[in-house]
Amino acid sequence: MSTNKHAIIRYQTLDRCFRNAGRNYAIEDLVNECNKSIYEYTGKEEGIKKRQLYDDIRFMESDQGWSIELKKVKDGRRVFYKYEDSNFSITNQPLNETEANQLREALLTLDRFKGLPQYNWINEINARLESSFNLKQQNDIIISFEQNEYLKGLEYIPEIYNAILYKKVLNIEYKNFKTENSTTIIINPYYLKQYNMRWFLFGKSHGYETITNLALDRIEKIASGSEEYIETDIDFSQYFEDIIGVTIPNEKIVDIILKVDKILIPYITTKPLHGSQKIKEKDNNIEVHLKLIPNYELETLILSFGEKIQVLEPIILVEKLKERINKMKNNY
């Protein structure tokens, strides 16, 4: 299927022209009609050429398209295009094989959420597509996503998701790693985020001004709350820009300088530690400069590289890592 820009607009325009019994369309007319439709949609004159329309028509005639049957009527040097059946329309047809495969690809991406209750419908949809379009069953798995299907707390996602969507307060019985007994937290839920194969809920707890972060695998029970929901003006698409992970300490953004072994540069270049990353050469050393708020996740990430990374600044981060490394040494 053509993946060119505005392909769907062109297919629909051609379909309309082919079934118009009151007018004949030559290729030049079809080009003009498609360009008018694109202009009406975008407001820009992004013209296409005859070659593109010929490709579009071939696709529409193919099994991967809609298997349309065209009547090509010659009048001198001009050729006019019409459907053999004036009642035919691609809008009346089921998904073609190409569209079905594209939908399968989208469902495969969604399948990374396997194990979450609200996505149980994916297997059913896949089966229906295979039956309807006789799609070849892929016996060998050719792609996989990192996902902990056995993580405790996944069953709470539908209820939390709906509470966020419909702005409902939740009473959450929560047990953190530091206490033996659980406590009940009244929270206005705002956002769900996955990090390091764990899920976290962000919201405003009653009695606290700052945002609360709850790990779903520490939740014991959830019930609906009766309190009035308190909305937020936080833009969570930007909320995590200045950190790594999910922990946001009440501290300022600082400049962090790391001395990095040259062997790590290709890895860190293709998979940056953070969006603020800049790589510099200084005194024959490679330095990685970051601007973010230091947190536990950053410390853990740095330590995961072992002796290949050394923190140069700030000193407070150097001391924290020294302390953690010394504790690690004492374990062996």
- Residues 95-152 pLDDT 10s: 666 677 777 777 666 666 655 656 666 666 666 666 555 555 555 666 677 777 778 8
Angle, vertex CA 112, rays to CA 111 and CA 116, nearest 5: 80
Q: Note the pTM of the prediction, 2 decimals.
A: 0.64
What pLDDT sits at residue 2? 39
- Residues 204-253 pLDDT 10s: 998 888 899 999 999 999 999 999 999 999 999 899 999 999 999 989 99
What pLDDT sits at residue 3? 43
- Residues 279-308 pLDDT 10s: 998 888 899 999 999 999 999 999 999 999
- Residues 142-196 pLDDT 10s: 667 777 777 888 889 889 998 999 999 999 999 987 778 889 999 999 999 999 9
Residue 322, token pair as written in the block: 């020294």
Residue 317, token pair as written in the block: 């981060």
Q: Which residues have C-beta within 8 Å of that of residue 47, sequence separation ≥ 6?
A: 35, 38
Cα separation of 187 and 163, whole Å?
A: 10
Q: Which residues have C-beta within 8 Å of that of residue 37, sequence separation ≥ 6?
A: 9, 10, 12, 13
- Residues 14-53 pLDDT 10s: 999 999 988 999 999 999 999 998 888 877 777 788 898 9
SS3 content of the chain, % helix, strand, coil (to 5): 40, 25, 40
Strand order in the sheet with 285-292: 278-282, 285-292, 254-260, 309-313
Residue linked to tokens 């966020």: 164
